[in-house]
Structure 1
């Protein structure tokens, strides 16, 4: 029995294609009125899972429940979910109104009822003035909103979005992200969004499930995923991080005592129980500050820097030969050390994290 606030429960789902296993016992709870993102590289299983929820793929083992109802064996057209695909698949010979109304009439809505609903959803996605246009007369962002209106028109209990922003240019993609999030709040239904773009996931999601090789690596809020990754894959995939080889001395009550390169003792949070010996420390480039070489946690030599507009990325090499990057805010007061100079690096308290493999 699922909790009443759970919109979709994925229960130990396995999906096999012959000898290839695409999903390895995936379990997830997606809450009502939540923007939930499945994030991972190509081939990680995120789209397979989305298609299984939609009913386009049968699961080999396990169950998918929608508000407590087992969807096993239920065809896509009988599931109270709708999908917005990467390719919007709008009918080019139909107007916006006709595109949005088409599915409603196929579901048996009366024409007057369908017309009222189309007016409502076009107002919701801010396309009321485009009702008589055809897709070829609209921009990519406007077509994307038509696809959203068509998916929302039948009042689905869950909306599935399979990388719907990937065809848009950067500026438009950034604008539509905010529109999507606002639309999710206004409709009050669960959105399940698939993407490989970390920035999209971090800016839009209430919670994120990071996937790799058909398994869920971590589920949490954007801040939790970014600030407290549980393993090397999540730390490396989400944003940019430095992964340092360290010697683990001991772990107690979630805190690890390690030796940094150069044998500097350091205490930091531990993502998991790691046996004493070799370990890996994750620290984000923006959580490192510069200091005199004899006052830092690490001693490094500057090998160069890259101008990034909002930031300046400093490239350094440590005493043991490991390379690191440091992000400095681009400001008039920022002093960028010269290439070849020796500096100290200070790690912010709580910013470094010992990871499991």
Structure 2
């Protein structure tokens, strides 16, 4: 989920913690627990700082080790210990328990996005992504805001947030039902599809669709059970050439390949520079595919420059690559 949603989730969980008699009986413990749930709901996304290094590192590691089973165990212990140093009158056990729940919920809800997490690491580095909830879901965020406003104006936070989470639970079930209906509609539209990826959007009934058959890539949109295919690309394996082998050793292209399950490729020559471009087919926007990985190699097959990330125009991509053909 996005940062804003994780913040309101942390605050709401702090309010729900008042159901715990130990927390409710001590204002010091209450303050410590609310601090723990807010910080705990953000902690796994500390790896966002990797973006300051470069996109390749960020793509390869975001929602990786910081969302793993060891991290879910260590984050609450670290956060609770630091908070307890400042408020030693707080009940440490209950501070740890509610902080643990905040961290766990952060990782758990991220599983339902299309990006996913490596939540079962170290047992597997597989990305767990159920793809039923958009990274920012206005309904989930809005329900939290309404719940917090009720609390602010004097409502008892415990029944308020219990009702809110019951509604959200039903909403998740509904999203799974809609996703299943969309997937069945895609199967009817592309009966020979071998791989189908359905990604949610901020609009409840609208989904992104990308699919593979033995011979073609398909890209489209679903609105309810109505499927529209926008693009159809011939499915051609990457050439087994020295150029491609050299390009895939680049950190940006290798990070892209590790992340993207469905993409196509283009190889062009620009003034004695070879360009190898990989294009993720899941994120079509206004007739453009903005998530790419590009490497430029010289005639000796040495990497001149490369980039991976979100680009919405060729001019911006050229600036990122610091390359302008004559």
With the length of structure 1 as denominator, give the TM-score of the two structures. 0.27
Query: Comparing both structures, which one devotes a greater share of its residues to helix?
Result: 2
Larger RCO (CA within 8 A; separation ≥ 6):
1
Query: Comparing both structures, which one devotes a greater share of its residues to strand?
Result: 1
With the length of structure 2 as denominator, give the TM-score of the two structures. 0.29
Structure showing greater radius of gyration is: 1
